[in-house]
Amino acid sequence: MKVLTVLALLASILAAPAPAPEPVPDLPYLPSPGVATDFTDNFDDLEVSGVGTVLPRTQRVNQYGALFYRDFVYSDDTLSLFFAPPSPKNFIGFSAVGRVFPQLCPTDKFQTFDLKSLYYACIINTFVPVNVPASCTIKFLGRRKDGDTVFEQVDYAAQSFGAKYNKVTFRKEFSGLTQLDISVNNNNPFLVALFDDIEYTAYKQEN
């Protein structure tokens, strides 16, 4: 009788589902030496002129705040009826068309930065008067000074007009960054990713 009981117990253990794997723990906060300065880049003091083809009236951002914005353009809210930024009047963005490698990195005066939050949206850059949603996934890949990488992604239903910005708050592991790569995973060449109110803390060495 005892043998049967033991065999039954073993059978129940073998038939039980395997325990779920332990989640990978987040990386710890990576402190940076030097003087810390808080920034919220809203781009509203930039003057917009001319006519663009990716976004209305666009110009390259280049350097703003403590960061260099590679392959980003800024624009105003001329078409705010279609996609009003959270802090009028300017916003930044990039299109999936062409060879672009959107990237944020500290300017020469700063060494690292901690990314806190930002607002994002996706639109379909077309003048066709049909509002057809399209899937849009924005990916953020951060490279830290200790050699580790951190990752986050957000999903958005892109539209031709009426886009509302969402806010993403980044985990504490998005700290000690030397570079942030941003990409859009989609099959729509007319998709444009928009951003505003980028909040971060930048660090520079003390004199």
Judge if pTM exceeds 0.85: no
Among 2-6, 59-63, 111-115, 182-186, the range of highest mean pLDDT: 111-115
pLDDT band of 151, cuts 50, 70, 90: very high
> In the predicted model, what is the mean pLDDT of residues 85-99?
80
pLDDT tens by residue, 33-80: 999 999 999 999 998 776 544 445 678 899 999 999 999 988 886 555
Burial of 71 (0-12, 13-18, 19+ CB in 10 A): middle
SS3 11: helix
User: DSSP labels for 61-72?
Assistant: EEEETTEEEEEE
Give the residues across from 195 on adjacent strands.
92, 120
What's the alpha-carbon Rg for the chain, to the nearest Å?
A: 23
Structural domain 32-204, CATH architecture: Sandwich (2.60)
Helix (H) or strand (E) segment spanning residue 3: helix 2-15
| pLDDT for position 82 | 58
Give CA–CA dist 144/175, Å, rounded. Answer: 7
